[in-house]
Chain A
């Protein structure tokens, strides 16, 4: 378990602080969880594609009802949140706690915008009768984005722990910071696939 040196807490680090080569970012058990989660979601994604192939018209009609604008904005929101997490990890590794903290707060703010935007998407859809029971497309849509949203919620809680660790500890545990970051980026990766499958493909 690596720990950062007690360094300066002011100023911006001039270069990214790369991890050493051959270094597993964060706890190995988190990576087993992440890979397991990627495989489980992978099965859902392929299942979606299989059932879509049985009835293209139904899925295309469902997609036409979705709000592509919010989907695209939410993609950029998660990417931006991920960027600030990655920048925060670099700052924490450089021993720059003030910058790390600021960047993790920004990441948390962007991350929190995701479920908020999701509500602006879901509520009008549900009130228009586009519920999970409508058809197979909407069942997949709500189950997959709902499961993803649970991951976002857990990711936000984990980010709070990362912030607490950087804020409270004189010497923040870098492995905890990296473990939290790994989980958050996985949430981002899953959304990138969901966005293409649900909103973009034809």
Chain B
């Protein structure tokens, strides 16, 4: 049991769960009025980007994969969130 708790995968999961709760609280607190809020949006999107990367890197084991797979998957995360934030801010 202790080996499962100390397992690096479990630590990644704990981090993912914690930031999920944090970003939900941010949306509940700062986003309660359901008005445009650039701080809430930037923070929750950046958290989502980090989460997506952590799942790809650790759970999908891309950190041990060949360079082409590392570049393609991290490139997807970077390009996607850059476009999402770009379109969001361009529309304000």
Chain A contact residues, CB within 8 Å of chain B = 12-16, 18-25, 31, 35, 38-39, 42, 45-46, 49-50, 52-54, 56, 60-61, 63-64, 68, 71-72, 75-76, 79-80, 82-83, 85-87, 89-90, 178, 181-182, 185-186, 188-189, 192-193, 195-197, 199-202
Instruction: For A83, give its contact among B9, B26, B80 (CB under 8 Å).
Output: B9
Q: Given the complex, which residues of B lie within 8 Å of A23, measured CB to CB?
A: 61, 64-66
Q: Given the complex, which residues of A lie within 8 Å of B62, measured CB to CB?
A: 25
The interface residues of chain A, by DSSP majority, are classed as: helix
Most chain-B Cβ atoms within 10 A of its Cβ — which of A49, A53, A90? A49
* Contact assessment for A31 and B69 in the assembled complex, using a CB-CB cutoff below 8 Å: yes
Nearest CB of chain A from residue B81's CB, rounded to whole Å = 9
Interface size on B, residues (CB 8 A): 55
Q: Given the complex, which residues of A lie within 8 Å of B60, measured CB to CB?
A: 25, 181-182, 185-186
Q: Given the complex, which residues of A lie within 8 Å of B28, measured CB to CB?
A: 68
Chain B contact residues, CB within 8 Å of chain A = 1, 3-4, 7-10, 12-13, 16-17, 20-21, 23-24, 26-28, 30-31, 34-37, 40-41, 44-45, 47-48, 51-52, 55-56, 58-62, 64-66, 69, 72-73, 76, 79-80, 83-84, 87-88, 90-92
Q: With A12-B4, A87-B9 in contact, is A188–B35 under 8 Å at CB?
A: no
Which residue of the partner chain A has the closest CB to B67?
Answer: A22
Q: Given the complex, which residues of B lie within 8 Å of A16, measured CB to CB?
A: 7-9
